[in-house]
Structures are given as C-alpha cells and as structure tokens.
Amino acid sequence: EAYKRYAYEEAEHAAKFAELLGEVVTSSTKKNLELRAAAEAGACEGKFVYEKMPIFITQPYIYVANNFENFNCMVEQLTKHTLGVRMLFPVFALTGLKFVFPKLTSSAVFLTKPELTTLTMFYDAYYDFGIIGVFLFAALVGAAAKWVMQIVKKSGNPVVYLFYGQIAIYLALAFFTTWFSNPTTWFWLILTGMMYLFVGYDRNKRGNGQEDE
C-alpha cells in the first residue's frame, strides 16, 4: 500500500509540473495520459530493477558512491579553507587541546544526507588546503606506503606486518572515512610503533646476550 501511495504521489507531482511547464501537454486528454503513463513507467523501471538486487550489493554501493557526493557537496559549499586544523584534529584530541579550544575544532561536515556519512580519505586534505592539499596528501601517503614496503622487506621485526596491515586496510577503505585525521588511527599507529621498538630492542638484547655467552 505504501509503494502504491508513493507511485500515485509521484505521478501527481510529475503531472502538475508538466502542466505548469507546458511539457507533453496536447489538446487530446487521451494522448496526455498516454504520454504521462509512458514517462512514469520509464522513471519507475530502474526502481524495480534495483529493488530485486540483493541488499549486500546495494548497501555497500550506496556508501561507496555517496562519499563522492559528500566530497562534491563540500567542494561546492565550502567558503573558507581551515589551513590544517582539520588534519591536526588527532593532535588536539590526543593532547586534550580540543577541550581547551573547542571552537577551533568545531568545523562543519558537509553531507548530502545525514545518514550517509562516508567521506573520502582526501576530504580533510581539500577542506584544509584545497586541490593543492589533495596532491600533497596523496604524495605523502604514497611515500609512506613505499617506506613501509621497504621496511617489510628488510626488517626481521614481525611487528612491521601490523604496520603493513593497518596501512593496507586504510587504503582499501579509503572511501569510508578520513583515516589519517582520525585520532583512533594515530592511537593504533603510535601503539604499533611502540610495540615495534620494544620487540626490536628485546631481539637486539637477546642477540647481544647470546654473543656474550
């Protein structure tokens, strides 16, 4: 019943707009009805196709696609760049400065729909510095990925694979959120770094002990 009501409402709206604009309106009532019926059938055809598609396909697609819409929404509506404030949010959050300067970190998030909050990884880079920020951020991410790959090949420390796994997940889900301006991301990277240093120190200490023996 709900879908039937929606269809009637959509058809009524389309008919009213057509009359106001003078489109597909002829002197024949029968012809007008035929044209409106054909138009509505074409408009609703895609809805029936997607309605039969499994939800495990449509839902991820909606979230993946909408991050581009949110990015476009931000580009169109943003009036002033924040010059690094958004990408430095992890520093403010992890040091507690966000409670000291709450206005500094209270910038708006531009979304097409409140329930679809996925943001591309480059969202904050553009928010801070525009197109130049996007290019610089991409270069930094590429350099970091290359550095991690070199360490994985050369290092005998097993914790390095945690770094590799984290970076791989962030890049694979680049459509999901702004990973590198998220305090949680940096918390885990710092923790992994501490584990890397501890395991490396312990391995060196054991190696020196065996040499002494």
- Locus of tokens 């996007």: 134
pLDDT at 204: 67
Q: Do 129 and 84 contact (CB within 8 A), yes or no?
A: yes
Q: Nearest Cα to 199, choosing from 156, 167, 165, 163?
A: 156
Question: For 13-22, how does the pLDDT look when each residue is reduced to its tens digit (9 = 90+)?
Answer: 666 666 655 5
Average pLDDT estimate for 129-149: 93
Question: For 73-119, how does the pLDDT look when each residue is reduced to its tens digit (9 = 90+)?
Answer: 999 999 999 999 999 999 999 999 988 888 878 888 998 888 788 89
Question: For 180-210, how does the pLDDT look when each residue is reduced to its tens digit (9 = 90+)?
Answer: 999 999 999 999 999 988 888 666 666 665 5
pLDDT at 89: 92
Alpha-carbon distance of 149 to 132, in angstroms, equals 26
pLDDT at 86: 92
Residue 106 main-chain phi, psi, to 5 deg: -105, 50
Average pLDDT of the chain is 81
